[in-house]
Amino acid sequence: LEHFQRAYLMSGVPTALYNAAMALRALGRHREARDAFQRVVDSHGDSPAAEPSRVKAAEEGARVAVLTLAGLDAEADYAIRINGRAHESERGTELEIEADPGPNGVQATRMGYESWTWEGQLEDGEQRTLQVEMVEIEVETTSVFKSPVFWVITGIVLAGAGVGVGLFLQQNAQLDVMHPD
C-alpha cells in the first residue's frame, strides 16, 4: 500500500492509485478503498482504470457499514471516537458514522456525563442504530457550614478575637487615671 501510494504521489499515474485502492480493499479498509477508487474516477475519468474503478467503488461502498448514534442532545458538544480515532461531527440528535465490517468500538463523551461506549461486530453493508444514553455525573455539593474544619477554624478565630478584645479592654482600663471624688 505504502509503495503504491508513494508511486502515485510521485507519478500521478492512475494505475498506481488503482493499485493502492486494491491494496486497501485487500486489507479490509473498505471505506478508504471506496474513496480511492472514486478518486481514480474523479481525477482520471479518461483513463482505462476509470471504468473498473467505478465498478469497484460501488462494490466497496456496498460493503461499508453505517452506525447511527441516536438520542444525542442537539445542543451539546460530544467527542466521538470510533476504533480509537476522533470522528468530527456536527450537532444534532442523530449522527451517522461509516465503519468497515468487523469488530468496531464507539465512544461518546460529553462534559459532565459518564462516557458511553459500544463494542460489536459489523457485517458487510450493515446499518445499525445505537441508542446513546449518557448518565449525568452527580457532583456532591457540601456546605461549608457542615465542615468540621470550618467550625474548628471559626472557633479558633473567635477565641483569639475574644482574647484580643479582653486584653485591649484590660490595657485600656489600666491607662485610665482614677479620680477620687
- Give the pLDDT confidence of 141-153 residue by residue, as tens digits: 677 777 788 788 8
User: What is the rounded CA–CA span in Å between residue 37 and residue 157?
Assistant: 77
Alpha-carbon dihedral 109, 114, 120, 123, rounded to 10 degrees = -40
Give 64-86 pLDDT, tens digit per residue: 999 999 999 999 999 999 999 99
Q: What is the pLDDT of residue 173?
A: 64
Whole-prediction pTM: 0.70
Task: Phi first, then psi: give them for residue 143, nearest 5 degrees.
Answer: -80, 140
Q: Across residues 3-20, what is the average pLDDT?
A: 96
Q: Across residues 108-135, what is the average pLDDT?
A: 96
Q: Across residues 16-39, what is the average pLDDT?
A: 97
More confident call, 49 vs 177: 49
Write the Ramachandran bin of 45: left for phi over 0, alpha for psi from -120 to 50, otherwise beta.
Answer: alpha
Per-residue pLDDT for 3 more than 60? yes
List the one residue out of 13, 8, 7, 32 whose CA is nearest residue 22: 32
Q: Across residues 146-168, what is the average pLDDT?
A: 82
Rounded to 5°, the CA angle 26-28-30 comes to: 105
